[in-house]
Structure formats: structure tokens, C-alpha cells
Structure 1
């Protein structure tokens, strides 16, 4: 379907200017009307089955932040024409919702030229026709050939989780679905998640649960189990044992948690007879994408290891690096978090950070670039790192955040999800098969994204067994 944007397009700047010709104070604006057709296309790209029609006009649409992000990218392109750009960092806020029917005006102004870094700081704002600010903040850009800069994803900056979710689903969608043992999916959330992932072409579920209880849940919730393999198990413990045995025998390529407790499933995975243990420590990775950060970030470990020691942290880092590489980050930047960015003998997390960095220097940890200790602000904000005089290939650009312990990691991940509107997925690494740990509070999108991670890992393990 072809739609016509009723908004006028600004005349492009004359070609021939270079990055060095851009002056402080220059600015450009892009104005567009957010139509129901825009939202329909956005919903299709995001993988939502929701129908969008004229009745949505005037209602808030939280996911449209990514659509507005495209306007920011367009305005940057008009402000800096003909220049291949790379993103050094961004800090954007979304103080007000975007609604269908809003006429939005994005303005990008050159606020500062940073000669030492060879970059420009751009002030970005977006207002609706009522004058409300819906986006404000800063983006730092440099020519794409400047060392240390990350190329902007085409066609522009992806703000919010949806661009990265689409890329993840596109990578997974090119692969054949895998057989997954779904352990005790005896509530609507977990059973629906398995069926949703099946419809998305990610998994072929094998439901391991008490048959009578499973059928009762399906009937109560109107879920169709026709054509799906079901293995009867007396209770949740038996279901965990049977599912793990299937994985150990190679009959399934992943495990998915249902309505049983995490400890029940992981105890079965860790049992000596499971045949799922490897030389590495098992750990959990959250893959999060927050609207204000230009790349996905892995937070680890926030679910399994309570207070890991140095050797365990080394394996947690190795697991996270492997996951990052599988999802398309060839040399991930690992920030080892602590409360401060200096080594303090009274703070064990800082000592572990220094030791891990030296292990990487000696080739004991490979595949990523490590730095630490780094406080959270220095890990994700170039501006914060510069203010504190930190010179680092990781600071402000972290792909992986290694937390000191489970409590801090769990709080960080949930703050990003619930306060930072981060999209999330989660997976257990370090076993012979990926383990999908879902929560009753997870969204449908988070469950499907977690299954996509498992699919990518399972195909990776066919070529490089853990």
C-alpha cells in the first residue's frame, strides 16, 4: 500500500559542503504529520498484529518514539548534507507522549564543534502543534571515518527499541525453527508465549507438563493445542527432569521456562546427570534496548549468580561476549561496573574489575574490549566520561554491563525496563543448550524476542558447540 504524507518536505541544502564547513548555530527542521497509515506500517514492521485505523486518532502511541527518531535522523541529514555520519553518543528524553494526528516539528541545531574529537554536538528537539516538547536532548556525530565512531544504522538513527527488535527478528526469521521443550506451561502467560513463538516461526514447542492441567488451561484460555507435541509429566519437578533429559539426548535444542519456579528448572539443568553442563559457569543475560541509548546493551548477571567471585565473573563475561557476537556485535565493549571508576582496595568490585581487564590483556578473556572499574554513568555516557577525564575505548559506548552481584544487576535491569521503557529479552548462557527464562511480568514482545535469541544461539551451537 502506498500512502502520501500530507506534510511538506523542506528544500535540501545545496550539495558540495563538507563536514568542516558546518558552523555552530546552523539548524534545520523537518515537519511531518503522524497519520494512522504511519502507525499501521510501524505496527507491521514491529511485528504487532494490532489493527490501526482512524479511531486511533488523538490517542497516545508509545512506540511512535522510534518513528519520531526517524525525523531526528532526517533533520540531521538535512543539517549535514552529503556527509557519511557516525554516532559518538546520544542523550535524548521523551517528556510527552506522541499521538496519532500530531503534527511534529523536529529541529536540529549545531551547538558545539569539538575540534579535539573531530565531532559536532547537535541539539535536538521535537514539538507538536500545541507547542509541547516530545523529544529533547543531544546527539554527537562525526564523519564515519573518524576512529572510535559507530556508524549510524541505515536509514538513520534508531531511537527506541523497535529498530533493534526488527533487526533481531529479521536475523532470526532467516533461520529454520528449532524444537524447544517448554517446561510446565500451565498458565495463560507461558502457554500463550510458546504458541506465539510458534506462530512467529521461531520454535516448534514440545510441551512437557501434566496433560490434564495443560488441557484445562488451554480450554479456559481458548488456546488451540492441535498439532503440538505434548509429553505428560506428573508435576513441575518431573517436567523439568524430563525436559532436561530431552535436551541432554539432543531431541530438543533449547529449554523454555513455563509456570514453574526458576530454581526447579535450573536445578535440573545443573544436575550432574543432565549432560548439559560445560566448562563454563552458567549465567543469565538480559538484552535491553532503551530509547535514550543508541545500541542494545547486555546486563549480566541479574538472575542466577548471587555474588560471583573473580573466576565466575570471567565466565560471565565470556558468556556475554559470545551472545553479543551471535546477535551481531563482532567485538563488544564490556564495562565492568562498580560505584566508582578508580581501584579502591576497600571495594572488592573495583579489584575484580582491574583483574578482569588484566586477564583480557593476557588473552585469558578474548573477543571483546574490557574496561573497568566504571561507574554506570561513565559506562553509558561519553559526556560523563569526558567530564571525569576518562580516556577509554569502552566508556560511553558499552555493549555489555557486567554488574558486581545479582542484586545490583536485577535492580539495574528492572529500572531500565520499568523506568527507562527498555525493550527486553533474556537467555541463560553456559549450558549446552540455551535456556529461555521467562517471567510472568514479561511482555509478549519480550517473550518472543527471548525465543529469537534462543534460535540464533541454537544455530550457532550447531557450528560451535559450547
Structure 2
């Protein structure tokens, strides 16, 4: 019996999937996003073909109402050479990527856009504009990243966090990371997500900090310091996702084998796990930054257009839309 077979559950108890139906039907995530309507999105410096193609596709598909913040003189030849139509998309002209990040954050802080989307600039450059307290985008929450993933060989989608923002989080930071992922699970329809705090082993080892943090986070959930989820750990990856592996190891847990959220010990472990699942197992993914005033789509330069569109769909589900807003658009 494989992992897919042994963890199959009714769709009502699973996160929305990212894969099209057998006859090309939109994914569950895309249907959920389209039901909310397009969201005003500042696209920061999309000065390469994949970024521009994703903006155009997400716009034409009804997911986002984009505002491109980038040097206009770079966009004109790029769009023309790639055969990408940007008619109907507003352009905010800025001299360079640093200015694009600053201006996009300003638009979000003033409520003129409800989502930020990274283009071809570096992650550090965009997040450096978001993180300072004076940006207007900080809240009392930890800023962290979540991947929603779906594998062809596994029955249910799941969330992995944090594989992109927090390098080596301590216990307090992990608490914020876990709560953000729980909040994402709630937003995607799970009333009580099951959270596995991952380690190399499923027992507490005083010499392995990740197992100590996992045990502490589990107890914090028991005491109401983490809200709205079943949390257990440490759990090794196999017994977090496989009922059979958990049973063979004698682990009695409502989370083991059925995790909706996988919390990695640090960024290195998470990044390697995500990329292995994508490039070796054919996983579909969507990524989002949580904890700021607006969702942030933080794409990788290696992401496909479909992955970028899925991330836009995730942001569209999370975004809070203003009532009765109107905008004047300027074309390239």
C-alpha cells in the first residue's frame, strides 16, 4: 500500500488541490480564487518573460487586477519580443528595481493594492522594503512563508513552512510561523488543521534542538498558545505523512500520517524538501508570504508560469478586497 492510498480522505477534510481535473477542469484552488473575484495586485519589477507572461495570464484569467511597478522603457521591448499583450494593465513607471519595491510597498500601505507580487528582482530586495516598521505593512505577526503543495502520488495537498524567509528560527519565531500556517489552513477551508512539527526522529533528543522545539510547540498548542489546530511533534517525515509508517513505529497521534501542515526545522531543510518534491516528484506548488498586512506572492526565478498563477490564486483567496474601489488604467 502506498502513501496515497493509505491517507485518502473525503475532499471536505483536505486543503484545495492545485492540479487540473481529468478533463482540464480548473483546480480546486483556482475555483476557490475565481469565486472571490480579481484582486488589485502590485507586480514588482516583472522585467523578464516568465514574470510578464504570468502577469498577463493571471490578468486574462480573472485572478488579479494588476498594477505593474517597473521601468516603462524596459517593459516595452520585453513585452513586444515575447508577444505578451499588456493592454488594459496599469503601469507605474519607476527607474529601477529598488524604487519598484519601495513604490509597491507604498501602494499596499495606502490600501491602493491588496496583494504584492514579486517579479524578477531578488527576494531580499522586495522583503527589505516590506520588513521595516515604517513600511506600513508590519503587523504583530511573524512574517513567514508557506508553500501549498500537491503531489501526483499522494492523496491530499499539504502546506510546508517555512522554506523561504526565516533562516534558523528560534522557538518564539517558530510559534509565529506555525500560527501563520494554521491561519492559512483556516482560510483554505480547514476548521482544525493537523500540524506536524518535523525532525529527523520522532523522539525528543536533548542533543537535537529541533526535537526540543517540536515538543515545546506541541505543549504550547495543548495550553492554548497556538490556536485552532492539532499540533504534534517531533515527527519524522515518514510518520508525518504515512499512516503505515506511524503504525509500525507505534506512534499514536491524531496528526501522524495525516498532516495538513509540515513545519520544518529551518530554511535549509524546508528549501531542499520543497525542491526535491517539485523536481523529483512532480509536485505542483503555490507560495505565499503570511504575516504582513497584505499577502505577498514570492515567486522563484525557476518557477513555471503555472506555479506563478497558482500563487496568484492563493493570494486572491487570502486578500481582503475594498468595497467600491475604482482605478484609472494606463497602458504600456
TM-score with structure 2 setting the length: 0.91
Q: Does the Cα contact within 8 Å between 2:50 and 2:304 map onto a contact in 1? A: no
Q: Does the Cα contact within 8 Å between 1:160 and 1:290 map onto a contact in 2? A: no
Q: Does the Cα contact within 8 Å between 1:326 and 1:460 map onto a contact in 2? A: no
1:319 aligns with 2:180: yes
Separation of aligned partners in 2, 1:455 and 1:418: 26
1:379 to 240, 245, 248: 240
Q: Which residue is equivalent to 1:432? A: 293
Q: Deviations over 1:35-62 (max 9, x none)?
A: xxxxxxxxxxxxxxxxxxxxxxxxxxxx
Segments of 4+ moved more than 3 angstroms: 158-165, 459-462
Separation of aligned partners in 1, 2:138 and 2:286: 23
Kindly state the Cα deviation for residue 151 of structure 1 after the two structures are TM-superposed.
2.3
Q: Does the Cα contact within 8 Å between 1:210 and 1:232 map onto a contact in 2? A: yes
Separation of aligned partners in 1, 2:259 and 2:47: 38
Kindly state the Cα deviation for residue 363 of structure 1 after the two structures are TM-superposed.
0.5
Q: Does the Cα contact within 8 Å between 2:18 and 2:28 map onto a contact in 1? A: no
1:203 aligns with 2:64: yes
Larger Rg: 1
2:308 to 432, 447, 458: 447
- Give the SS at the match of 2:3: strand
1:150 aligns with 2:9: yes
Kindly state the Cα deviation for residue 391 of structure 1 after the two structures are TM-superposed.
0.4
Kindly state the Cα deviation for residue 338 of structure 1 after the two structures are TM-superposed.
0.3
1:183 aligns with 2:44: yes
1:91 aligns with 2:3: yes
Q: Does the Cα contact within 8 Å between 2:198 and 2:265 map onto a contact in 1? A: yes
Separation of aligned partners in 2, 1:153 and 1:90: 22
2:20 to 154, 162, 173: 162
Q: Which residue is equivalent to 1:408? A: 269
CA RMSD of aligned residues (A): 2.1
Q: For the structure 1 residues 460 and 353, does the alpha-carbon distance in structure 2 shift closer, same or farther, using more than 3 Å as the test?
A: farther
Separation of aligned partners in 1, 2:119 and 2:27: 25
Separation of aligned partners in 1, 2:322 and 2:37: 14
2:83 to 202, 216, 222: 222
Kindly state the Cα deviation for residue 90 of structure 1 after the two structures are TM-superposed.
4.9
Q: Deviations over 1:124-172 (max 9, x none)?
A: xxxxxxxxxxxxxxx348xxxxxxx832579xxx999335961111111
- Give the SS at the match of 1:162: coil
1:358 aligns with 2:219: yes
Q: Does the Cα contact within 8 Å between 1:290 and 1:421 map onto a contact in 2? A: yes
Q: Does the Cα contact within 8 Å between 1:241 and 1:268 map onto a contact in 2? A: yes
- What are the equivalent positions in structure 2 for 1:286-297 lying under 5 Å apart? 286-297=147-158
Kindly state the Cα deviation for residue 459 of structure 1 after the two structures are TM-superposed.
3.4
Kindly state the Cα deviation for residue 420 of structure 1 after the two structures are TM-superposed.
1.1
1:389 aligns with 2:228: no
1:171 to 32, 50, 55: 32
Q: Which residue is equivalent to 2:145? A: 284
Q: For the structure 1 residues 323 and 159, does the alpha-carbon distance in structure 2 shift closer, same or farther, using more than 3 Å as the test?
A: closer
- What are the equivalent positions in structure 2 for 1:12-161 lying under 5 Å apart? 90-91=2-3, 139-140=5-6, 150-151=9-10, 161=19
Q: Which residue is equivalent to 2:319? A: 458
Task: Give the total of aligned pairs.
Answer: 318
1:241 to 102, 127, 146: 102
The structure richer in strand per residue is 1
1:213 aligns with 2:92: no
440-449 vs 412-421, greater mean Cα deviation:
440-449
- Give the SS at the match of 2:107: helix
Unmatched segments (≥5 aa) in structure 1: 1-88, 93-138, 142-148
